[in-house]
Amino acid sequence: MTTVDLASPDTFATGVPHDALADLRRTRPVHFQEMKGQPGFWAVLRHADVVHVAREPRLFSASEGGVVVEDLAPDQLEMMRGMLLAMDPPRHTDYRKPLSDRFKARVIAGLEPAIRAVCEDILATAADKGDVEFVHDVTSGLPSRVIGELMGLPEEDWPHIHELAERNTSGQDDDAGSGEPSSASVEMAMYAIAFAARRRAEPVREDLTSFILGSDFNGKPMDDIDFAKFFVQLVTAGNDTTKTMLSSGLLALLQHPDELDRLRADPSLVPGAVEEVLRWANPLHYFRRTATADTEIRGVRIRAGEKVAMYYTSANRDEDVFADAHRFDIERHPNVHLSFGIGPHFCLGVHLARLEGRVFFEELLATFASIELGGEPVRVRSNLNNGLKRLPVRLAR
């Protein structure tokens, strides 16, 4: 019988236990995971079951217990409930709808020239160095600058905001940043409150901050505290998950040189390669829900109040959905991965993430004739964040 502790960040510190997850998909696809010091959770491992949970937000609540498997302190849970990712309908709909037009594909497409210019600048700096730590020297700069511009944040604040975003998702790793993730969220929220107050006193601008502060959500404008909770999610998701997608994507290509050669030979394959990166190395392992009533998943009884974790890392390699699921294939089609979620909580920033990924890899391959590992990659110690904290790379034009 397979034994794997999905609650422990140490389980993922040296790599995802894909063999163990594959065995569980065959034998216990709805698997109960014990936790030390608090109630355990049901890990939902098959693609169809993750879709089922995601599409039933009233039965499987994001708000009731938050979206991480660890039970949060009341003040932490209350802050999380102010984020879009932890809202249930109808509140979720009321808060998401006003933002939807700003994140439509045609609107986001207009950002391509600016994103390409940022990529060119970042990669030119990397070329001057040659040997880089790719996670922080290269990939961190793109989402920091894009989100900074979108939100109208002062440029001098971008590095600090990115550091707080990293701590929010990587707080289980002592090396990922000083302080607890909860303190990073509070610090970012306090920054947002002060930022909102300052912006309310200034002329309206053509940026996302002015749009949010000037819009009605659930029939009324956001106050500064609501804005702060919203800000924490938007900035954290926009920063850290994009950094993870880009760095993990390069590592996947370096580990599969034949696929990298195919991509160099035909840059039109880049959009599909980005989708395969998202399937192969999804930035987040899971999100949690809480059952609001007794129910069943695949014949397993789930009681009201129990935790249910949707494991994207497992669902994205479900053999019932993906042929040769453990093979990295940049031309995989169809590719119905769940890295952006599905249902009401489908990622609001999906078009921005795909655009950043496409432009970044187009520019990376156009800039460097040679990209090699310069040392051993090091993963973030986390049961949530499926990312790297160090990726030494040697670049040559």
Q: Does residue 179 register a pLDDT over 50?
A: no
Q: Are 255 and 286 in contact (CB under 8 A)?
A: no
Q: What is the pLDDT of residues 143-156, one digit of tens each?
A: 999 999 999 999 99
Q: What is the mean pLDDT of residues 365-371?
A: 97
Q: How confident is the model at residue 163 (pLDDT cuts 50, 70, 90)?
A: confident
Residue 170 scores a pLDDT above 80: no
* pLDDT over 90 (residue 237): no
Range 170-182 average pLDDT: 62
The pLDDT assigned to 182 comes to 61
CB neighbourhood size of 303 (10 A)? 10
Burial of 268 (0-12, 13-18, 19+ CB in 10 A): exposed
Which residues make beta-bridge pairs with 29? none
Return the pLDDT at 176.
55
Distance between alpha carbon 84 and the CA centroid of its chain, in Å? 14
Give residue 180's pLDDT band: very low, low, confident or very high (50, 70, 90). Answer: low
Nearest 5°: the CA angle 349, 324, 289 is 40
Q: Distance from CA of residue 389 to its chain's centroid? A: 15
Query: Is residue 12 pLDDT above 80, yes or no?
Result: yes
pLDDT tier, 162 (very low <50, low <70, confident <90, very high otherwise): confident
Residues 6 or more apart whose Cβ sits within 8 Å of residue 335: 272, 275, 276, 279, 322
Query: Tell me: the pLDDT tens digits for 325-339?
Result: 999 999 999 999 999
Q: Is the pLDDT of residue 108 over 50?
A: yes
**What is the model's pLDDT at position 200?**
94
More confident residue, 236 or 336: 336
Name which of 41-45, 227-231, 317-321, 359-363 the model is least confident about: 227-231
Half-sphere exposure of 254 (CA within 13 A, CB side): 21
Torsion of CA 8, 12, 16, 21, to 10 degrees: -10
pLDDT score recorded for residue 125: 96
In percent, how much of the chain has pLDDT > 70?
Answer: 97
Is the predicted pLDDT of residue 1 greater than 70, yes or no?
no
Q: Which residues contact 10 (CB under 8 A, 6 or more apart)?
A: 381
The predicted model scores a pTM of: 0.95
Confidence (pLDDT) at 87? 96
Q: What pLDDT is stored for residue 167 in this prediction?
A: 82
> What is the C-alpha to C-alpha distance for residues 114 and 93, in angstroms, rounded to an integer?
30
H or E segment and range at residue 216:
strand 216-217
> What is the CATH T-level fold of the domain 9-396, as seen in this structure?
Cytochrome p450 (1.10.630)
Retrieve residue 18's tokens. 């894909």
**Which pLDDT does position 219 carry in this prediction?**
85
Domain spans in the chain, listed from the N-terminal domain onward: 9-396
Q: Which residues pair with 297 in a beta bridge?
A: 300
